[in-house]
Amino acid sequence: MKPIRIALTKGRLEKDTVALFDRMGLDTSAVKDKGRRLILPVGDNLEVVLAKAADVITYVEHGVCDLGIVGKDTILEKGGSFYEVLDLGFGRCRFALAGPAGKDFYSGYTRKTVASKYTNVARSYFEGRGMDVDLVKIEGSVELAPLLGLADAIVDIVETGSTLKENGLEVYETVADISARLIVNIASMKLHKQEIEGLLFAIQKVLDQRGQGKVEA
């Protein structure tokens, strides 16, 4: 039988997912000792594909991977057609609106400028508030934008907020909470329903034991 193939975001989510698989009793030795290999067996009927976050969604959407583990930040920014079935509970952080400490972002009548790497997330957020803003896409250290006078505020991923504080910035409000999510290809959910539901059940059982994770509605 062809193994179920799961695309996995490299880096921190990779490590957390391997730890999850270990708790499920799966053999993760190939992933831990991967060398330069990108497609690796996990147990008897599971295959891991290591990829960048945005590519995880692409592989799942196009059906070359049945499942994917990716951050909610990538899902919100990139979108796509797939089932988002499980909040895995790790990789927690948040999207936040932030800017110069002590300033009121919403004061005044001038049109605001917001810098972000995640312009789709920022656009959706302000549209939801019925507010028109100018968006500037920044690929590097987005904290520089308000410091250089390029933007009034930023929308960025925040964990501890220490980088903001060190640069005289503060969080104004939370835009969205982020954590790792399990996504499933639409066709795969039908074609491999029994195998995928069995895997989801096993994952949920481990998450329940640790008090983290929840099934998405």
Q: Give dist(CA 158, CA 98) in Å, integer.
A: 9
Q: Please report which helix (H) or strand (E) contains residue 148, including its range.
A: none
Are 153 and 172 in contact by the 8 Å Cβ rule? The answer is yes
Chain segment 68-109, per-residue pLDDT in tens = 999 999 999 999 999 999 999 999 999 999 999 999 999 988
pTM confidence score: 0.89
Residue 34 DSSP label: -
DSSP 111: P
Return the higher-pLDDT residue of 202 and 215: 202
Q: What is the mean pLDDT of the chain?
A: 93
The CA distance from 32 to 109, in Å, is 55
* Collapsed DSSP state (helix, strand, coil) of residue 8: strand
Does residue 209 surpass a pLDDT of 70?
yes
Per-residue pLDDT at 195 exceeds 90: yes
Quick one: CATH architecture of 4-91+179-215?
3-Layer(aba) Sandwich (3.40)
Please answer whether residues 134 and 152 qualify as being in contact, where contact means their C-beta atoms are separated by less than 8 angstroms: no
Please give the pLDDT value at position 214.
58
Q: What is the total residue count of the chain?
A: 217
Helix pair 12-23, 193-210: axis angle to 10 deg: 90
Question: In the CATH hierarchy, which fold is given to the domain comprising 93-177?
Answer: D-Maltodextrin-Binding Protein; domain 2 (3.40.190)
The model's pLDDT over 153-189, given as tens digits with 9 standing for 90+, comes to 999 999 989 999 999 999 999 999 999 999 999 999 9
Q: What residue segments make up the domains of the chain, in order of their start?
A: 4-91+179-215, 93-177
Residue-wise pLDDT for 23-48, tens only, equals 999 999 999 999 999 999 998 889 99
Which residues are paired to 98 by β-bridges?
154, 171
DSSP letters along 40-106, please?
Answer: EE-SSSEEEEEE-HHHHHHHHHTTSSSEEEEEHHHHHHH--SSEEEEE---S-EEEEEEEETT--TT
